[in-house]
Chains A and B, each alone.
Chain A
Amino acid sequence: MNASVSSSVTPIGAAVRRKEDHRFITGKGRYTDDLDRPGQTYAYFVRSPYAHARIRHIDPTAAKAMPGVVDVLTGADIAADGLGDLICGWMIHSKDGSPMKMGSHPALAKEKVRYVGDHVAVVIAETLNEAKDAALAVEVEYELLPAVADLATATDGEQIHDCAPRNTAFEWELGDKAATEAAFARAAKVTSIDIVNNRLAPNAIEPRAAIGEYDSGDEAFTLWTTSQNPHVARLVLSAFVGIAPENKLRVIAPDVGGGFGSKIFIYAEETVCAWASKKVGRPVKWTADRSEAFLSDAHGRDHITHAELAMDEAGHIIGFRIKTRANMGAYLSTFASSIPTYLYATLLSGQYAIPAIYCEVDAIYTTTAPVDAYRGAGRPEATFLLERIVEKAARERGEDPAEFRRRNFIKSFPHQTPVIMCYDAGDYVASLDKALEVADYKGFPARRAESERNGKLRGIGLSAYIEACGIAPSAAVGSLGAGVGLWESAEVRVNPTGNVEVLTGSHSHGQGHETTFAQLVSARLGIPIDQVSVVHGDTDKVQFGMGTYGSRSGAVGMSAIVKALDKVEAKAKKIAAHMLEASEGDIEFKDGRFTVAGTDRSLAFAEVALNAYVAHKFPTSEIEPGLKEGAFYDPTNFTFPAGCHICELEVDPETGVVEIKSFVAIDDFGEIINPMIVEGQVHGGIGQGIGQALMEGVTYDEDGQLVTGSYMDYTMPRAGDLPSFTVGMTQTRCPSNPLGIKGCGEAGAIGAPPAVINALTNALGTEDVPMPATPSRVWAIAQARASRLAAE
């Protein structure tokens, strides 16, 4: 029996196939919209058709008389019930010391609407069709105000929030201004760049959904919702919005179909479903259609930046100064203020030893959907800026961009940057060298010549990215303004028959935790992986958790599991010692067996588990029965995944079509539990990064109408748009957590956009290629290039 058990133990580092897949490939996944509750009603939201308007009057009378309508609720009802606003949980202070200007954000608008899609009223009916029909009958009288849709001119536009003159939420700075000015004063060369980081819609394929249910017997709510962090949702809905005390509010996030940041936030719709379920005395269900998702899911990116890089004669970077205007949209979403600040400017040193950095960020309201974290969240914006300006600087110096990077790399660790972060480990030369080799960088000129013979323009581009993951020591983020601690919790419950449930505060919405976490436990306890179940996403089952984002589930979530496993092992050893009549110090635990050192006397893990519960063979006055341990793990530092991506592409100057010929990603994620899952994360990130570079862009017209409101208008990468990727690894262990993990969830989305645009600017011979570089834009640039060359 022992042999069969140990043979099916799954070691760390094995590409174990995913446990969760069986239900997904057989159609048995349970997503929020798949659930129905007895007596359920359907919600449909009346949304503002205008970007900016005062609400003069709402008359729901006609709608209430429509067939099947249960109720119509408005902002007046929210106010009458004393509900609090939706909040932004990260306080940023401006340069002058003043706190950020957080505009009021009720779940249903009261006096004003501030973007197209803003929530005006909710119709609750017996069927969805009846709710939709009645929504058309809700009479709303608007007094139109000028839209403020353009970020570049928004500070001169109509004021959106009374509390925020010049539509400015904050004017923030980071770094040493004087030292940076001094560096520029002695610079031998300065390279400058103007960047627009295009606005993106996250587009998890499962639209957001919620079911609120109120149990009048227990006076308690349950909210099923598409959340990446159900405990945080419960905390905010309880402590700030005031739906119910935490102990009377259960939040369940069942199978969730992708998040990419967009399902971190506490939105109006989910809030209203919970609240309204008590008002109407029946469960209330809402599922976004894709058009609603485009209108009201928080968007990502959307920066305008001017930056300058100072170098000495020998080509060492000596200073970097940055001025960024960040679009916050109409309201400050849940973590919005942290994205263009502490998740952006702290990464502006990249992989380079830059002695002086100064960054200013103005956070600006516009009459557009709120902007918050989207895969990478601030770090893609920082990386795109830095990797574009570094590439440009190298080209202006007439130097190979790879060698310019190599010269400026940080080469010893730990390394304290001038923008807060202290990098603990890395080897940037190793990932560069490996990427250059795998991409056959040396062979590029020949391939370019071949393309030229075929009438095509070929380009190659690098990006050497770093990100800060894990997010992060609680005290550190607290000192920077976070309203929460950012640890993770876990509980390991060993059952009497020796199988195990792991309860985690991390949440899986595609990342494969049910496999990776079980793999960790299997390897540690020496039991088969199918004897380990992972429980997540339910506030009634898991004590607490901070959820999944920022590539934190491995580095932080699994570290909490390791801590709990340490406790389980320690207690099991005590019990085994009594069972084996040996001293505790002589008990060794290996391959699922407790052995008295130097003897053949041993017990299987399951035997000790059973004895922990029957409690026949140890003194319960000294050792409590049972084998179940919990732990909270607070990281001691951010983690710093890094790598080098190289994109090679070909442009057809006659059509503007860009074909990616190869994409190489060499990443250092520290220790890896399951390489198959890690590579999958990289693939997905690269797909989204190429999407940002070549295809995707949210567009509002000057009246603040969303132009890209469906998959007919917003270009999602499809299979035919992308190549297969070449993914490889280098490895330096992360010293700050017990598993040595750095995290892999966002790397692709961070590294890819600058690699693609550096390749494209290389192909087209101009630095001025905006994202998304659509065929029409590329065609125009290629034609201008042809005219220029003809004139020369």
Chain B
Amino acid sequence: MSEATTIVRVPVRLTVNGKSVSAEIDPRTLLVQFLRETLDLTGTHVGCDTSQCGACVVHLDGVAVKSCTVLAAQADGASVTTIEGLATGGKLHPMQEAFRENHGLQCGFCTPGMIMSAVDLVARFGPDLDEATIRENLDGNICRCTGYHNIVKSVAAGAAAMGSAEAPRAAE
């Protein structure tokens, strides 16, 4: 590298899947690159370059974002959950379980983003989801294998399971 080039690095500190991480990064680093390349969390995928396919969806402070469209530096101080952080205590998240139970995946490439979007969908619309709501609100995630038929079933089942898991707490 020539001496004239100034290497700019910016510090970031964030929480990823409950663990505190910090690094000095190239400021143009995308959040998805930071997750995949710096942290080796390769469950978050890249399927396009126009923020259309949704394979890269993660939760940023509890809200679904396309991590290909967020700079890692923008996530400074935030909390990020990826597909790797969804299962807790060795137990699958109900939405993960629902995708397996309902054959909601084939090649698996869009699946992490699809599951993260589905969990967000439940957060936004509640656990009792009809087919039209699911279809309309999955428009940011493209799947080429399933024709969405079993994804829609999976999301409905996963949402219901999330609802019944939360019900005791809601009753308190």
Interface residues of A (CB under 8 A from B): 17-18, 20-31, 33-34, 67-68, 129, 203-207, 255-258, 260, 289-291, 509-512, 676-677, 679-680, 683-688, 710-712, 716-720, 722, 724-725, 748
Considering only residues 1-18 of chain B, those with a C-beta below 8 Å from chain A are 1-2, 5
A712 adjacent to B52 (CB under 8 Å): yes
Residues in A with CB closer than 8 Å to B41 are 27
A18 adjacent to B107 (CB under 8 Å): no
Does B168 count as interface, using CB distance less than 8 angstroms?
Answer: no
Residue of B nearest to A686 (CB): B147
Considering only residues 24-83 of chain B, those with a C-beta below 8 Å from chain A are 26, 28, 36, 41-50, 52-53, 55, 82-83
A291 adjacent to B49 (CB under 8 Å): yes
B2 adjacent to A21 (CB under 8 Å): no
19 contacts between A and B (CB under 8 A): A25-B92, A25-B105, A27-B41, A29-B43, A204-B107, A204-B109, A206-B45, A255-B108, A257-B110, A290-B50, A679-B103, A680-B149, A683-B146, A687-B147, A710-B49, A711-B53, A718-B139, A719-B134, A720-B135
A21 adjacent to B99 (CB under 8 Å): yes
B144 adjacent to A719 (CB under 8 Å): no
Nearest-neighbour CB distance to chain A for B41, whole angstroms, equals: 7
Does B136 count as interface, using CB distance less than 8 angstroms?
Answer: yes
Residues in B with CB closer than 8 Å to A512 are 106
Does B87 count as interface, using CB distance less than 8 angstroms?
Answer: yes
B92 adjacent to A257 (CB under 8 Å): no
Residues in B with CB closer than 8 Å to A18 are 100, 103
Residue of B nearest to A130 (CB): B1
Does B145 count as interface, using CB distance less than 8 angstroms?
Answer: yes
Does B142 count as interface, using CB distance less than 8 angstroms?
Answer: yes
Say yes or no: A26-B92 contact (C-beta < 8 A), given A17-B100, A719-B152, A724-B149.
yes
A716 adjacent to B144 (CB under 8 Å): yes
Residues in A with CB closer than 8 Å to B112 are 24-25, 27
A31 adjacent to B43 (CB under 8 Å): no
Say yes or no: A27-B43 contact (C-beta < 8 A), given A18-B100, A719-B138.
yes
Considering only residues 72-120 of chain B, those with a C-beta below 8 Å from chain A are 82-84, 86-87, 92, 96, 99-101, 103, 105-112, 115
Complex alpha-carbon distance, A722 and B138, angstroms: 12
Residue of B nearest to A127 (CB): B26
Nearest-neighbour CB distance to chain A for B30, whole angstroms, equals: 11
List the 4 shortest-distance A-B pairs measured between CB atoms, nearest first.
A27-B43, A687-B147, A257-B109, A24-B108
Say yes or no: A719-B103 contact (C-beta < 8 A), given A27-B112, A205-B144.
no
Does B129 count as interface, using CB distance less than 8 angstroms?
Answer: no
Residues in B with CB closer than 8 Å to A684 are 106, 144-147
B107 adjacent to A256 (CB under 8 Å): yes
B142 adjacent to A257 (CB under 8 Å): no
Does B162 count as interface, using CB distance less than 8 angstroms?
Answer: no
Residues in B with CB closer than 8 Å to A710 are 48-50, 52
Residues in A with CB closer than 8 Å to B111 are 24-25
Residue of B nearest to A15 (CB): B103
The residue that A680 contacts in the complex, of B136, B138, B150, B152, with Cβ under 8 A, is B150
Residue of B nearest to A689 (CB): B147
Nearest-neighbour CB distance to chain B for A331, whole angstroms, equals: 25
Say yes or no: A25-B47 contact (C-beta < 8 A), given A129-B28, A683-B149.
no
Residues in A with CB closer than 8 Å to B134 are 719
Complex alpha-carbon distance, A671 and B49, angstroms: 42
Residues in B with CB closer than 8 Å to A256 are 107
The residue that B44 contacts in the complex, of A21, A27, A204, A206, with Cβ under 8 A, is A27
Residue of B nearest to A713 (CB): B50
Say yes or no: A258-B100 contact (C-beta < 8 A), given A27-B82, A29-B43.
no
A67 adjacent to B84 (CB under 8 Å): no
What's the interface size class on B, roughly?
Answer: 35 or more
What DSSP secondary structure best describes chain A's contact surface?
loop
Nearest-neighbour CB distance to chain A for B126, whole angstroms, equals: 19
The residue that B149 contacts in the complex, of A17, A68, A725, with Cβ under 8 A, is A725
Does B151 count as interface, using CB distance less than 8 angstroms?
Answer: yes
Residue of B nearest to A685 (CB): B147
B109 adjacent to A722 (CB under 8 Å): no
Does B143 count as interface, using CB distance less than 8 angstroms?
Answer: yes
Residues in B with CB closer than 8 Å to A260 are 144
A28 adjacent to B43 (CB under 8 Å): yes
Does B131 count as interface, using CB distance less than 8 angstroms?
Answer: yes
Residue of A nearest to B2 (CB): A67
A725 adjacent to B52 (CB under 8 Å): no
Residue of B nearest to A206 (CB): B109
Nearest-neighbour CB distance to chain B for A34, whole angstroms, equals: 4
Residue of B45, B92, B112, B150 ringed by the most chain A CB atoms within 10 A: B45
The residue that A205 contacts in the complex, of B26, B55, B135, with Cβ under 8 A, is B55
Interface contacts beyond A26-B84, A260-B144, A719-B134: sample of 18 additional A-B pairs, CB < 8 Å, sorted by A:
A21-B100, A26-B43, A67-B5, A204-B107, A204-B109, A204-B144, A205-B55, A205-B145, A206-B109, A255-B108, A510-B106, A510-B108, A680-B103, A680-B150, A683-B147, A711-B52, A716-B142, A719-B152
Residues in A with CB closer than 8 Å to B147 are 683-688, 717, 722, 725, 748
Say yes or no: A205-B106 contact (C-beta < 8 A), given A26-B87, A687-B146.
no
A31 adjacent to B146 (CB under 8 Å): no
Residues in B with CB closer than 8 Å to A30 are 42
Residue of A nearest to B132 (CB): A720
Residue of A nearest to B111 (CB): A24
Say yes or no: A724-B152 contact (C-beta < 8 A), given A25-B105, A204-B144, A687-B147.
yes
Residues in B with CB closer than 8 Å to A686 are 147
Complex alpha-carbon distance, A686 and B135, angstroms: 17
Nearest-neighbour CB distance to chain A for B10, whole angstroms, equals: 15
Residue of A nearest to B116 (CB): A27
Residues in A with CB closer than 8 Å to B145 are 205, 258, 510, 680, 684
Residues in A with CB closer than 8 Å to B108 are 20-21, 23-25, 29, 255, 257, 510
B148 adjacent to A722 (CB under 8 Å): yes
Residue of B44, B96, B107, B110 ringed by the most chain A CB atoms within 10 A: B107
Nearest-neighbour CB distance to chain B for A287, whole angstroms, equals: 8
Complex alpha-carbon distance, A255 and B55, angstroms: 16
Complex alpha-carbon distance, A24 and B107, angstroms: 8
B148 adjacent to A205 (CB under 8 Å): no
Residues in A with CB closer than 8 Å to B45 are 31, 205-206, 257
Complex alpha-carbon distance, A725 and B150, angstroms: 10
Residues in B with CB closer than 8 Å to A34 are 36, 42
Nearest-neighbour CB distance to chain B for A202, whole angstroms, equals: 8
Nearest-neighbour CB distance to chain A for B8, whole angstroms, equals: 13
Residues in A with CB closer than 8 Å to B143 are 205, 719
Residues in A with CB closer than 8 Å to B115 are 25
A720 adjacent to B105 (CB under 8 Å): no
Nearest-neighbour CB distance to chain B for A783, whole angstroms, equals: 27
Nearest-neighbour CB distance to chain A for B23, whole angstroms, equals: 16
Say yes or no: A509-B107 contact (C-beta < 8 A), given A27-B112, A31-B45, A720-B136.
yes
Complex alpha-carbon distance, A184 and B110, angstroms: 51
Nearest-neighbour CB distance to chain B for A375, whole angstroms, equals: 10
Residue of B96, B135, B148 ringed by the most chain A CB atoms within 10 A: B148
A719 adjacent to B135 (CB under 8 Å): yes
Residues in B with CB closer than 8 Å to A26 are 43, 83-84, 86-87, 92, 96
Residue of A nearest to B98 (CB): A25
Residues in B with CB closer than 8 Å to A291 are 49
Complex alpha-carbon distance, A30 and B43, angstroms: 9
The residue that B107 contacts in the complex, of A25, A258, A748, with Cβ under 8 A, is A258
Residues in A with CB closer than 8 Å to B152 are 719, 724
Nearest-neighbour CB distance to chain B for A733, whole angstroms, equals: 25
